[in-house]
Amino acid sequence: MTVTGIISAIGNNSSIYPLLVRDCGIEVPTKVYLTYKENENDKKIQKLATRERFIDEYIGSAIWLGGIPLVEYVANKFIKAKGFNPNINLKLLKEEECQGLEYNIKKFEKLAPEAVEDLKKLTGSMAKNTYKTLLGARFLAATLIPIAVIGFILPKMIFASSAKKIAEMKNQNENRRTSLEIERKQQEKKTKETTFTGNLMSTLANFSTKEKMEVIDGGYALGRIVTARKGPDGNRNEAKDIAFKMAGMMYLNYVAPQQIEKGLNFFCKKVFKLNTNLDPLMLEDKDFINQIKEGKLQLPKSDSAKDLLDFVDNNPKSLFVKYAEKFEKIKLLKNGIRDPRAYVNIKKLAEFKKDIEEFSKNSLSSKSVKSFAKRAKGVKTFNILANVGLSSFLLAYCLPKAQFAFRRLVTGSELEPGIVNANMK
C-alpha cells in the first residue's frame, strides 16, 4: 500500500482503521505506562494495577477487533446452509425509489442472474421472516458474545488472577513475619523466600463492523461497571472510575474524530477556500485531474435516486463509479454490474457527487487544476494526521489524566480503586 493509501485508510472515520491506529498503536501502550506511573506511590499496587491494565487492554483489544469477524464468519456459514445469501441487505425488503427486492429482480434478472436467484429466495413472506430472524441472530451473536467476554468474563478472570496474586503476597508477608519471629527466638540466620507469577431489525442487522464495535463498547462498559469490585465498606469507587473512563472513551473514539474532521474541513474551506472532503487518493489521481482540466469528467445529472443509479448502471467504468465503489458508496460484482443484493444510500452517494462537483468547479477557477489538487491533497493529508494525532492524544493521554483527577476527587487517592477494594493491604 502506498503512503497516500495509508493516509486514506486512517482518514476514513467510517471504517475501523483509525480505531486500529489509535487503539493498538497509541492508546493501549500509553494507558499501560500511565497506569504504572499513577500508582508509583505503592509498589505492590503499582505492579498489580499495571499487570491488570496490560492484560485487560491487549486481550480486550484482540477480542474487540477479532470477535465480530470470527462470529460473523461462523454465522454466515450457518445462514448459507439454510439456503440464503447473508450479503443481501434487509433494507431491500422495503421497496424504495429505483431499488428494492422486486425492483432489483426485474432490473438485474438478465444482467446478474446468479445474484437475482439469491433475491428470489426471499420473495415469500415466510422466507423474508426467516431471513430477518437469521440476520438478527447474527447481529446479536456478533455483539453479545464479545460483550459477554470483554465486559463480564475477562474482568472476572483478571480479578481472580489479581486476588490470587494478593493472596500470594499476603502469604509471602506472613512467611516473612514467621521467619523473622523464628530468627528472633532461635537466632537463626536463614530466611524463607516465596515466588509468584502473574424498521429496527433491518437497521441493526446491517450495521457496519465499526457500528457493531460501538455497540460492543457500550455493552462492555456496562459489564465492567456491573462487575466492578466493591470495597470492604461497600463503596463503588471502581465502578465510578470505570464509568468515567468508558464514557470518555466512547466519545473520543466515535464522536470526537468526526467532529474534528468536520471542524478542520470547515476551517480549510473558509480560510484556504479549499474543499477537503475528497480523499487523498482521488486528489493524486492523474486521470481525475486531467478529466477535470479537459472537461471530460462524467457525473450524474442530478441528485435524484433515478439519475444517480442510472448513471452508476450505465457508466461502470467512469471515475465516479470507480471511487464510489472504492469508498463503499456502492457495491459492484466482478463483471462491473451493480450488486442487486446491496442497498445504496442515496443521500451519501449524492453528497459524494456534490463534493466532486464543488472541487471540480473550484479547481477550474484556479490558475492550475494540478496545483490546486496538489495543494488540496497536502491540506487533506495534514487534516487526517492532525485528526489522528489530536484524537489519539486526547484518548491516550488526556482521558487517563482526567480519569486520575476524577479518581482523586472521588476516592482521595491516586491508587487503582479496584486493587484497593480487593483488600491489597
With a cut of 50, say whether residue 187 has pLDDT above it. Answer: no
Identify which has the larger pLDDT, 341 or 272. Answer: 341
CA angle, 109 then 91 then 142, to 5°: 115
pLDDT at 147: 80
pLDDT at 322 over 90: yes
The SS3 of residue 304 is coil
Point out the least confidently predicted range of 128-142, 164-178, 223-237, 356-370: 164-178
Tens of pLDDT along 292-319? 999 999 999 999 999 999 999 999 999 9
In tens, the pLDDT along 210-221 reads 677 677 777 777
The residues, ordered by sequence, that sit 6+ positions from 301 with a Cβ below 8 Å of its Cβ are 307, 311
Q: What is the predicted pLDDT for the residue at 80?
A: 93
Torsion of CA 366, 370, 376, 377, to 10 degrees: 180
Q: Which of 37-41, 92-96, 383-387 has the lowest mean pLDDT?
A: 37-41
96 strand-pairing partners = 99
pTM given for the model: 0.70
Check if the beta carbon of residue 246 is closer than 8 Å to that of residue 238: no
Question: Which residues, including other chains, have CB under 8 Å from residue 259's CB and lie 6 or more apart?
Answer: none
Check whether 420 has a pLDDT greater than 80.
no
DSSP letters spanning 84-133:
--TTS-GGGGS-BTTBSHHHHHHHHTTTSHHHHHHHHTT-SHHHHHHHHH
Per-residue pLDDT of 64-93, as tens digits, reads 777 788 888 899 999 999 999 999 998 999
Grid cell listed for 199: 424498521
C-alpha angle with apex 384: 378 to 390, nearest 5 degrees? 130
Average pLDDT, rounded, for the chain:
81
| pLDDT tens-digit series, residues 19-71 | 666 666 676 787 777 777 777 777 777 787 788 778 777 787 777 777 788 88
pLDDT per residue as tens digits for the range 17-27: 666 666 666 76
| Residue of higher predicted confidence among 321 and 423 | 321
Of 75 and 423, which is predicted with more confidence?
75
Average pLDDT (105-125) is 93
**Amino acid 195: pLDDT:** 34
